[in-house]
Amino acid sequence: MELKPSLFRTAELLVNGIPRGAPHPTSPSEVNGLAKTLGIKDGSLTYRINRLIEFGLVENRCLANGRRHCLRDRNGRIIEIYGISFEPMMRRAAELAERADAVRAAHTEHTRLRHDISRLRRGMGHLVAAFGDAGIVTTWASLPARLTKLTIAELQRVIAVVKNLKADLTRRKNGGDRSEIFEDRPSNFDAQYTTEQDLSDSCNPTIPAENKKDCGQNSAQQDQPKSGLEHVTLDMILKIAPEDWHVAMGMHGRPSLHNLVGTAYQRAQALDVSPSAWAQAQSALGPVGAAVLVLLADAQSQDRGGRVRCPGGWVRRMSERAENGTAYLHRTVFGLLPQEKVNF
C-alpha cells in the first residue's frame, strides 16, 4: 500500500476536520468545502475518499442521503457525529506502524546498497581498462548505470557481480603491472603534493597585490594566472566539503590546509583522477589549489547528485583553464556555499 500525495493530503484535511470532544474519530467536513480547499471537483474528492475506503483506512458513516452532520446537546457536547470515520485506521494502528517500520528499513537497505555499489565502482573503470579481458569488459558494460529504480534483490545481484569483478581484477593487478594504477594508499606520488611552503588561510598560491610587497613573493609567482581561489578561505572549503571529507581530515587532527591536501590526494584515487591530472592541477594551482579542485569535483559528482560525470576529466579541464587564467573557481565555491551573504 502506497498513499499518493493527493490521498495523503485528503486524509490530512479530513483528520483536521474532526471536532474536539467527538465520541469517535469521525470527520463531518462537507464535500464542497474540502473540494474547494483542495482545488478539485466534488467528484474527484469522492473518488479519493473511496480510495481511502478501499485501502481500509476509513469508512463511510454518513447519513442515508450522504449528509455529514454533528449533533450536539444544549451544552454544546457532541451526542452523535456522521461523516468519514478513521476508526479502521485506529484498529490497524499496530499493523500500520509495523509496516511503516518495514518500509523505512527497506528504504535504508536500498540506500545502503546503492552507496556500497557506488563506492565499489569508484576506480574500477581504470582497472577494467588495464587488466580486464573481453568477459570482464562485457560484464562491466552490462551493469546498470542508474540504481535508484532497482529493487533490493536486483541491487544485491549487482553488488555481488561488482564484488566478484573487483576480486578478479585485484588478483590480476597484483600479478601484473602496478605502475599504471593508483595504489590503495599514497606512496609513490606522495612527493607530488608535499611542500615546504607555509600554507595560509587563502587557498590560492597567488597572493593579492596589496600583500605581495610584504611577503617578498618572487616574480614567477606574482605573474601566475589567478583562478579566483585567492578569495576562498579554509572556512568556506569546510562548509562545502562532504561529510566523509570532514571525517577523513578529523582522523589526522584539527582540519587544516595540510590535512585537506592529504585527504584530497586519497580521494583523487577513488575518483579516478590520474597521477598526471593531479600533477597538472598542482602545477597550475599549487598543492592546496589542486586539493580544492578535487574537492569541488567530488562535491559536484553525480554520485552526490551533482552534474560532474567524470571527476578526473573535470579536474584536468579546470586545470587547463587555471593555466590560462579563466577558471574562476571562486564562483563554483560560492555556488556550493549555504545560502548566505558572502563578503570578500
The cell for 180 is: 599504471
Q: Quote the pLDDT of residue 224.
A: 52
Q: Quote the pLDDT of residue 18.
A: 92
pTM (2 decimals)? Answer: 0.41
Which of 127, 126, 163 is CA-nearest to residue 143? 163
The CA R_g of the chain, rounded to the nearest whole Å, is 30
Mean pLDDT in residue range 275-282: 88
Q: Quote the pLDDT of residue 32.
A: 87
Q: Quote the pLDDT of residue 157.
A: 92
In the chain, what is the straight-line distance between the N-terminal and C-terminal CA atoms, in Å? 53
Mean pLDDT in residue range 287-314: 89
Can you tell me which residue has the cell 570482464? Answer: 136
Tell me how far apart the alpha carbons of residues 145 and 230 are, in angstroms, rounded to a whole number.
38
Helices assigned H by DSSP within 87-233: 87-91, 93-121, 124-131, 134-142, 152-175, 209-215, 219-222
Q: 25 falls in which pLDDT band (50, 70, 90)?
A: very high
| 329 against 203, higher pLDDT | 329
Q: Are strands 59-61 and 26-27 parallel, antiparallel or unpaired?
A: unpaired
pLDDT > 70? residue 218: no
- pLDDT tens digits, 153-210: 999 999 999 998 888 888 888 874 433 333 333 333 333 433 333 444 455 544 344 4
pLDDT > 90? residue 135: no
How far, rounded to the nearest angstrom, does the alpha carbon of residue 21 sit from its chain's CA centroid? 45
Q: Quote the pLDDT of residue 50.
A: 92
Burial profile 316-336: b = 16 or more Cβ within 10 angstroms, e = fewer:
bebbeebbeeebebbebbeeb
Lowest mean pLDDT among 12-21, 50-59, 123-132, 272-281: 123-132
- pLDDT tens digits, 254-264: 788 888 888 88
Give me the chain's average pLDDT, please: 80
Which of 225, 208, 220, 207 is CA-nearest to residue 323? 225
Q: Quote the pLDDT of residue 203.
A: 55
Concatenating the DSSP letter of every residue in 13-48 gives HHHHTSPTT-SSSEE---HHHHHHHHTS-HHHHHHH
